[in-house]
Amino acid sequence: MKKRIRIRYEGAVQGVGFRPHIYRLAQAYHLSGWVNNDSAGVTVEVEGEDSEIESFLKESVEKAPVLARIRSVQKSEIALEGGNKFLIRESEKNQAVSTQVSADAATCPDCLKELFDPQDRRFRYPFTNCTNCGPRFTIIEKIPYDRPYTTMKVFKMCSECEAEYHNPEDRRFHAQPNACPKCGPELVLLDANGKRIKGDPIRNAIMLLKKGKIIAIKSLGGFQLAVDARNQRAVKTLRDRKIREDKPFALMAPDLESIKKYAEVSDAEADLLLSPERPIVLLKKLPGQKLASSVAPNQKNLGFMLPYTPLHHLLMQESKMILVMTSGNLSDEPISYQDLEAKKRLKRIADFFLTHNRRIHIRCDDSVVRVFEKDIYPLRRARGYVPRPLELRFSEKRSLLAVGAQLKNTFALAKAGQVLVSHHIGDLDNLETFRAFEQGIKHFQKIFEIKPELVVYDLHPDYLSTQYALSLKIPRIGVQHHYAHTASVMAEHNLTGPVIGVSMDGTGYGTDDAVWGGEFLIVDWNSFERKAHLRYIPMPGGEKAIKENYRMALAWLESIYGQDLWHLKIPFLKKLKRAEIEFLLNATAKGINAPLTSSMGRLFDAVSAILGLRMLANYEGQPAIELEMIADELESGYYQFRYEEENDKIIIDPVPVISRLVEELAKNGNREKISARFHNGISRMIVEVCEKLREQSGISAVALSGGVFQNFRLLSQATALLREKKFKVYVHRMVPTNDGGISLGQAAIGLRRMKDVFSSANES
């Protein structure tokens, strides 16, 4: 029996070869009808025998292209129209946008084979792609995803590319960035003054890299700075020019086997390295490897990625080098992505530019992840993952904007239970980064045609993201920082609550105007209650104590020992001028520029200085990272925290911990063991406090979030110990545990509270 049905596929179904997939299936099952892209996804009408349509429907989902992610399939029977052809129609534009724009994808095996085949017309062509790979998010100007709406619109396809584009049997059928050496983008090598270097750009670039030169490479989402990772002088020069003293550099290797010469690689880590997303993966460094020591100073880990564009593959396979491949920017600035801007900003860093004339529409950094318990644990979510939406089980149809935090900023747009978390923006303290934040919001609103009806922001009045939110003439909700951290974990796992939120980081504005960061909260979607936190301590000099972390050590030592601190056998005290420090501590005692903090991040800073590891931080989290790096992996001893009750809250006092480690240090104690005992003590404290809160509340679900849980030792220990005590532990799998995940938590809380906000507005 014949019938005709209309099918709507929603999700990541544009730019991934879904229409060609549907076309080929329709031909195979002798169905007539049509398929097209529209602003809601892909719409199909098919007519034919009932059994053939059922097989078509099943295979359309089960055998979908590798990059497709189908969120929903809706079908309805309609009137027969007859006909014997199946067509791919021109894309339509409807009012409501619910389609998912695809993320950029690493070069697929088929394109890679052609790239290195001397008989193929795309041999060594650095911009080859097909429906299964290549640029997507970074070249889209608006949707639907068709060539005229991308930065490829200026390249008119040659007859051969045109034939592929219109051939349903070809994997480049309707591949929007399709190109070849005849008609596509062109690669050039320029010197720092913009003069073109004659000869093969790739071979010349390899020759220059082997001579220790720094090359700015235009990649998918912006410029990268490349240098020979085994050349100490070259890496040091890059550090000096980039003004990046210690922060580790990312690395790129030709293949997986090359990485295994420098780092341990588990099966789960290999899967991530080889995935279409191709993130930077943090790996445990092998002893005795011969990389420049300045690649990742004072680190036990290396961040490796594999080539993800044809240009990378050509560079890496033809050079067989290990390259530093870091973002093209000065430290703290956003990645450069426009040609003129890049040549201006990077001229003093790069010796040469390996660039091309395919415009990048939106900048997008490399993603950074690690593996925890055989699964992904994101640290920076960007290329390869953005703008993939996160699905929430919320029915709210109104839209909102969540503006995120100040550091490691991301923003999020949400509508109809979907949250679109942006790519990594960075630290908004920098003017250029704030402009990137504003540009990113405008771009997301444009390509997804979302006009926010509500804005959600952090309570910190000095955050530029908060000030931006308050400037918008729409209803708004302020959400406490650590509540948002916990809510982001709940949103990822679709938890209905309540949970015990263990939220630990460096800075978060509290409801009492103090700086929070060592928090235990009881959280549901309606509210949170602060049930336990680290004892308050002043931050001498306010935010200066973050970069000059020895100030936090002085605060704790003075609170314990008073004037006797000068008699302590602590090396870093000898490096300070007593008169200046006494002036600082006197000002702190009077409350002059000395906000109170309960931050676990600042406690790590203090201990790092006390042990003589790090007195000044050259990048965010450096004192804590270096403290983790020296911890003895076999040490099982621990330092015990003290607990006190105050106003129905548990106050967690680190004074016994600091006293013990100072005593052991004075006895020439082993710093590696002291660091390990400090970590072990925190893990035990987390469990002990959670047990106290379970006794009070009956809650056994624990959500771990905040930048402190980037500390792998602490994360692993705390999770294992909590499970031993029969807690159900939830950690991040989709967004970073650091402030890059805040916008998701804000958006989820905003969606839950949306009805209350608008019902209150209507009543008033």
What confidence tens digit (pLDDT) does each residue in 118-129 have?
Answer: 999 999 999 999
What torsion, rounded to 10 degrees, do the Cα atoms 247, 427, 367, 495 define?
120
Phi then psi for 675, rounded to 5 degrees? -60, -45
Residue 395 to residue 40: CA distance in whole angstroms: 18
The angle, 0 to 180 degrees and rounded to 10, between the axes of the packed helices 622-630 and 671-697 is: 110
Cα dihedral across residues 349, 355, 360, 366: positive or negative: negative
CB 690, CB 650: distance < 8 Å: no
Strands of the 250-252 sheet, one edge to the other: 187-191, 352-356, 215-218, 223-228, 323-327, 250-252, 301-305, 280-284, 368-372, 375-380
Q: Using alpha carbons, select from 587, 461, 455 the residue that is nearest to residue 513.
A: 461
Query: Domains plus CATH for the chain?
Result: 2-88 (3.30.70.100), 187-369 (3.90.870.40), 389-493+740-763 (3.30.420.360), 533-732 (3.30.420.40)
Coil, helix or strand at residue 263? strand
Q: What is the pLDDT of residue 92?
A: 66
Within a 13 Å sphere around the CA of 428, how many CA atoms are in the beta-carbon half?
Answer: 23
Peptide bond connecting 168 to the previous residue in cis, omega within 30 degrees of 0: no
Burial class (CB in 10 A: 0-12, 13-18, 19+), 463: buried
Name the token pair of 592.
């002059």
Residue 117 to residue 384: CA distance in whole angstroms: 27
Segment 706-735 mean pLDDT: 98
Peptide bond connecting 144 to the previous residue in cis, omega within 30 degrees of 0: yes
The helix, strand and coil proportions of the chain, stated in percent and rounded to the nearest 5, come to: 35, 25, 40
CA dist list (Å): 43 to 10, 14, 40:
9, 11, 8
CB 167, CB 157: distance < 8 Å: no
Q: What contacts 591, CB < 8 A, 6 or more positions away?
A: 538
Residue 160 — pLDDT band, cuts 50, 70, 90?
very high
CB 180, CB 156: distance < 8 Å: no
Q: What is the pLDDT of residue 454?
A: 97
Q: What contacts 634, CB < 8 A, 6 or more positions away?
A: none
Give strand pairing partners of 368: 280, 380
Peptide bond connecting 387 to the previous residue in cis, omega within 30 degrees of 0: yes
- Please give the mean pLDDT across all residues of the chain: 94
Q: What contacts 274, CB < 8 A, 6 or more positions away?
A: 256, 306
Residue 298 to residue 141: CA distance in whole angstroms: 42
CB 505, CB 738: distance < 8 Å: yes
Q: What is the pLDDT of residue 19?
A: 87
Name the token pair of 463.
């955050």
Residue 702 to residue 700: CA distance in whole angstroms: 6
Residue 709 to residue 348: CA distance in whole angstroms: 36
Residue 16 — pLDDT band, cuts 50, 70, 90?
confident
What is the Cα Rg of the chain in Å? Answer: 28
In the chain, how many H helices and how many E strands? 22, 30
Residue 319 to residue 206: CA distance in whole angstroms: 6
Q: What is the pLDDT of residue 38?
A: 80
Percent of the chain with pLDDT over 70: 98
Q: Where are the beta strands (DSSP E) in 565-705?
A: 596-597, 642-646, 649-653, 701-705
What confidence tens digit (pLDDT) does each residue in 392-439 have?
Answer: 887 778 999 999 999 999 999 998 888 999 999 999 999 999 999 999
Q: 298: alpha, beta or left, given left = phi > 0 and alpha = psi -120 to 50?
A: left
Q: What contacts 509, CB < 8 A, 6 or more positions away?
A: 458, 459, 460, 461, 480, 481, 515, 516
Q: Using alpha carbons, select from 169, 651, 189, 613 the residue that is nearest to residue 605.
A: 613
CB 580, CB 620: distance < 8 Å: no
Q: What is the pLDDT of residue 96?
A: 45
Q: Is residue 650 predicted with pLDDT exceeding 80? A: yes
Q: What is the pLDDT of residue 108?
A: 96
What confidence tens digit (pLDDT) does each residue in 100-155 have?
Answer: 678 999 999 999 999 999 999 999 999 999 999 999 999 999 877 789 999 999 99
Q: Using alpha carbons, select from 318, 294, 287 the residue that is nearest to residue 206.
A: 318
What is the 3-class SS of 29-64, one letter each residue?
A: CCCEEEEEEECCEEEEEEEEEHHHHHHHHHHHHHCC
Burial class (CB in 10 A: 0-12, 13-18, 19+), 153: middle
CB 625, CB 709: distance < 8 Å: no
Q: Report pTM.
A: 0.94
Q: What is the pLDDT of residue 338?
A: 95
What DSSP element (H or E) covers 664?
Answer: helix 655-666
Residue 763 — pLDDT band, cuts 50, 70, 90?
low
Name the token pair of 762.
């209507």
What confidence tens digit (pLDDT) does each residue in 18-71 have?
Answer: 888 999 999 999 999 999 988 778 999 999 999 999 999 999 999 998 888 898
Please give the DSSP secondary-structure letter assigned to residue 576: S
Coil, helix or strand at residue 573? helix
The angle, 0 to 180 degrees and rounded to 10, between the axes of the packed helices 655-666 and 671-697 is: 160
Residue 93 — pLDDT band, cuts 50, 70, 90?
low
Segment 309-334 mean pLDDT: 96
Q: Using alpha carbons, select from 414, 496, 318, 349 the residue that is nearest to residue 750.
A: 414
Residue 764 — pLDDT band, cuts 50, 70, 90?
low
CB 534, CB 518: distance < 8 Å: yes
Segment 611-624 mean pLDDT: 95
Residue 95 — pLDDT band, cuts 50, 70, 90?
very low
Which one has a higher pLDDT value, 568 or 189?
189
Residue whose structure tokens are 């410029």: 223
Q: Is residue 761 predicted with pLDDT exceeding 70? A: no
